[in-house]
């Protein structure tokens, strides 16, 4: 995930219109980075001439002999004497940070009127200060930049043309910087296959002090500490891979790092002080034998390291729009066997939330290790809760009590999880500290006014972005008052948000819903010993109570099971059993709708686990018919409709849905997006504001869908639904933008292929 103040720079149009920019490039400082910039420019930008400037004449000769530069000069005035400054498009400063004042003065004196200048230094404040010292102010033609790339070897011989490919480059323009110059520099880096981000100059130095400068400082210090011991030979002889990996960066250029630490002294000291505080806490825990404190630190660190690794690998819990993952279906196949799909996402969210607020330790099994649920888990770690796992669906939450949450050190990032954001809005609006809730590009488009407005009626102070969109900023320390609220729409998330806020509110909080919605929050509150009552369509609770830890067995998610229920129902020869599926009566609309359509669907082994009804579901193929979906079943199947639309296309006759306007404000406008995909695959349908009519097939066993390409619009349920459609397609279906499937169903492709679907996931 990008830092909250990182902004991706759009460079596509500039790359297209400036394909021959720069034509003449000057590199000042021919080390690893400067030499790599020259080689990359030659390979990727079509630059015509590359000149080098370096006081080391030997490096100049090596660079020229290796083809890194066309011609070299020992000083900038020497370059200016031989090259017309008006012909120079771009100058890249790759000199030590402490040499910037002298270099900038020379550049300003000899640059051409349209020449743009950028740098590659890891400290930006020192560049700004050097510009002010040399020139009196920050010039508009100077674009501070920093490629996050490097290698253990230094010097121009180590230069690589692909050094910046798939690496970040941060530009840090100031208020004085010419926007056109920023665009040109951004396009230059983007042409080298780098990811260009924009960040405030001061923030850049803070972030780099923590993530780059401090680790180098610690690596140098550790190796030096051991090297000064008498038995250092024995120590180094028995050091294993962990020591090698941790200290690898101590092989970097000492002179360069001396200059960096001096240049970024203040931010480095701040980062070092924070680190030392953490070391002292761990030392105290070791000294006193405080295993719980050590476990809290180590678990939080492991989680953060796993998250960091996932970001680097672009695999999990991150803004998924950066992944070009597609599904490709192949015609044929049938669905057979037995399987248990991942745990219920709604219950997984709530188990972490209530377990964190309970007194004592909560043991969870069946936890969904998908992106959305992991976002909730990570959030409570950031709020000071010790959580062990997840490990094969098992999680242990060491509750801190109803008033034990701690202020987070940064905005809480929730990925794509609207459930997390809406429920946390209620829970966190009552805390004594300020906090901010953010999400990825998809979540940032989704409406939050539906929870913000009633929370404000309870006394909460929170701000949203334009049109009630994220991020949400919550002001702490505001007492809440219980109230009654009539939901304007059937929404379990809004209901749960208000009930969670009501835990801290003075008096009673009650919510009346216009139609039944999932009641996992009420059931789980009661499981944690909190009194909740229901009268008809109204649920109520009193604030000021306590929650007591319990054990939770999360059933398989009926929403995830739906894709395979539909797959078996539409495919001749299929016979499938899905085990231990949650069949909560506020979630079982898909079962009733499929049965109404004529599906051969039976339940067995029905029981209740932790207050939640579960059963095994068997589905065998039989031809189905189109139906008018009953209005009372719509809120009970709201998340399952994308898959049900596929079932409707495979049923004989017309299926009509009304009263489902809620589908338009999910991860995507699911009515419109599904209609566009169905039409692209040859299925006739008519869209209404609150529903859709789908004209089903007249074929009992033949193909229903044509081959084609559909777009999921970053919506996991859309992607999985069209993957199921591949079972009854004439040819291959390509489904674009499928990375968000990991938010709700990790391992979907593997399970689908195991059960008989012909499905492949690949990077586009």
Residues marked as catalytic: 639
The closest alpha carbon to 729, from 334, 330, 336, belongs to 330
Joined together, the tokens standing for residue 416 give 């794509």
In sequence order, what are the residues at sequence separation of 6 or more whose Cβ sits closer than 8 angstroms to the Cβ of residue 308? Answer: none
In sequence order, what are the residues at sequence separation of 6 or more whose Cβ sits closer than 8 angstroms to the Cβ of residue 26? Answer: 50, 51, 52, 53, 79, 83, 88, 90, 91, 92
Report the C-alpha gap between 369 and 389 in whole angstroms. Answer: 10
Q: How far is CA 732 from CA 137, 576, 584, 673, 715, in A?
A: 60, 24, 36, 19, 20
SS3 call for 711 = strand
Report the C-alpha gap between 540 and 303 in whole angstroms. Answer: 36
Q: Radius of gyration of the chain from Cα atoms?
A: 30
In sequence order, what are the residues at sequence separation of 6 or more whose Cβ sits closer than 8 angstroms to the Cβ of residue 266? Answer: none
In sequence order, what are the residues at sequence separation of 6 or more whose Cβ sits closer than 8 angstroms to the Cβ of residue 447? Answer: 467, 468, 469, 665
Which uninterrupted H or E stretch holds 578? strand 575-582
Q: Report the greatest alpha carbon distance in the chain.
A: 89
| Under 8 Å between Cβ of 69 and 51 | yes
Report the C-alpha gap between 639 and 582 in whole angstroms. Answer: 14
**In what order do the strands lie in the sheet containing 145-147?**
7-8, 195-198, 168-171, 145-147
Count Cβ atoms below 10 Å from residue 579 Cβ, excluding itself.
17
Report the C-alpha gap between 665 and 670 in whole angstroms. Answer: 8
Phi, psi of 623, deg, nearest 5: -60, 140
Count Cβ atoms below 10 Å from residue 178 Cβ, excluding itself.
15
Say what angle helices 418-428 and 492-502 make with each other, to 10 degrees: 20
Report the C-alpha gap between 540 and 531 in whole angstroms. Answer: 9
Report the C-alpha gap between 742 and 716 in whole angstroms. Answer: 8
∠ Cα 374 643 659 (to 5°): 100
DSSP 8-class letter at 696: -
Rounded to 5, what percent of the chain is helix, strand, coil?
Answer: 45, 20, 35
How long is the chain? 764
């Amino acid at each position: 995930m990008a830092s909250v103040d990182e902004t991706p720079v759009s460079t596509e149009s500039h790359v297209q219109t400036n394909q021959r920019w720069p034509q003449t490039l000057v590199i000042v400082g021919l080390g690893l980075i400067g030499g790599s910039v020259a080689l990359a420019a030659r390979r990727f930008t079509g630059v015509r001439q590359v000149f080098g400037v370096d006081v080391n004449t030997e490096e100049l000769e090596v660079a020229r002999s290796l083809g890194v530069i066309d011609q070299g000069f020992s000083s900038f005035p020497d370059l200016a004497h031989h090259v017309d400054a008006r012909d120079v498009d771009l100058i890249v400063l790759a000199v030590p940070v402490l040499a910037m004042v002298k270099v900038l003065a020379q550049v300003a004196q000899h640059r051409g009127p349209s020449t743009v200048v950028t740098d590659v230094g890891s400290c930006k404040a020192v560049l700004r200060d050097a510009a002010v010292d040399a020139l009196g102010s920050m010039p508009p033609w100077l674009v501070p930049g920093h490629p996050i790339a490097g290698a253990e070897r230094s010097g121009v011989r180590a230069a690589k043309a692909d050094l910046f490919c798939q690496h970040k480059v941060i530009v840090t323009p100031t208020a004085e910087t010419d926007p056109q110059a920023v665009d040109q520099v951004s396009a230059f880096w983007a042409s080298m296959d780098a990811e260009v981000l924009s960040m405030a100059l001061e923030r850049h130095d803070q972030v780099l002090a923590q993530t780059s400068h401090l680790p180098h400082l610690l690596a140098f210090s550790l190796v030096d500490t051991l090297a000064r011991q008498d038995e250092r030979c024995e120590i180094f002889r028995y050091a294993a891979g962990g020591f090698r990996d941790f200290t690898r960066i101590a092989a970097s250029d000492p002179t360069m790092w001396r200059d960096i630490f001096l240049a970024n002294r203040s931010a480095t000291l701040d980062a070092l002080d924070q680190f030392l505080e953490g070391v002292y806490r761990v030392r105290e825990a070791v000294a006193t034998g405080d295993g719980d404190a050590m476990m809290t630190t180590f678990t939080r660190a492991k989680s953060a390291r796993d998250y960091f690794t996932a970001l680097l690998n672009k695999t999990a819990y991150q803004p998924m729009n950066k992944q070009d993952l597609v599904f490709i279906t192949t015609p044929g196949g049938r669905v057979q066997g037995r399987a248990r799909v991942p745990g219920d996402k709604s219950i997984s969210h709530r188990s972490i939330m209530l377990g964190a607020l309970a007194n004592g330790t909560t043991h969870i099994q069946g936890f969904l290790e998908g992106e959305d649920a992991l976002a909730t888990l990570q959030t409570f770690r950031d709020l000071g809760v010790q959580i062990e796992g997840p490990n094969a669906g098992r999680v242990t939450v060491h509750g801190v009590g109803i008033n034990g949450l701690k202020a987070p050190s940064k905005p809480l990032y929730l990925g794509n999880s609207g459930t997390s954001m809406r429920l946390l809005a209620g829970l966190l609006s009552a805390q004594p500290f300020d906090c901010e809730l953010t999400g990825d590009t998809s979540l940032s488009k989704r409406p939050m006014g539906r929870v913000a407005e009633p929370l404000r009626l309870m006394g909460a102070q929170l701000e949203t972005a334009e049109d009630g969109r994220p991020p949400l900023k919550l002001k702490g320390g505001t007492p809440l008052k219980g109230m009654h609220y009539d939901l304007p729409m059937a929404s379990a998330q809004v209901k749960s948000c208000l009930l969670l806020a009501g835990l801290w509110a003075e008096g009673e909080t009650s919510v009346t819903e216009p139609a039944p919605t999932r009641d996992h929050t009420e059931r789980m509150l009661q499981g944690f010993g909190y009194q909740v009552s229901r009268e008809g369509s109204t649920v109520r609770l009193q604030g000021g109570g306590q929650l007591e830890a319990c054990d939770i067995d999360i059933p398989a998610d009926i929403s995830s099971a739906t894709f395979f229920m539909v797959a078996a129902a539409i495919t001749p020869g299929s016979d499938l059993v899905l085990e231990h599926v949650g069949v909560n009566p506020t979630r079982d609309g898909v079962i009733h709708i499929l049965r109404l359509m004529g599906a051969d669907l039976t339940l067995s082994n029905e029981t209740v686990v932790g207050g939640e009804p579960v059963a095994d579901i068997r589905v065998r193929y039989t031809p189905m018919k189109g139906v008018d979906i009953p209005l009372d079943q719509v809120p009970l199947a709201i998340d399952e409709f994308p898959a049900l639309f596929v079932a409707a296309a495979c049923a004989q006759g017309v299926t009509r849905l009304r009263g489902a306007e809620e589908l338009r404000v999910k991860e995507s406008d699911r009515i419109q997006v599904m209609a566009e995909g169905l039409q692209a695959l040859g299925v006739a349908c008519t869209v209404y504001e609150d529903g859709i009519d789908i004209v089903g097939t007249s074929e009992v066993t033949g193909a229903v869908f044509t081959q084609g390409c559909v777009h999921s619009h970053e919506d996991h349920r859309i992607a999985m639904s069209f993957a199921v459609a591949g079972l009854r397609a004439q040819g291959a279906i390509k489904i674009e933008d499928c990375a968000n499937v990991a938010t709700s169903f990790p391992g979907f492709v593997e399970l689908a292929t195991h059960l008989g679907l012909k499905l492949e996931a690949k990077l586009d």
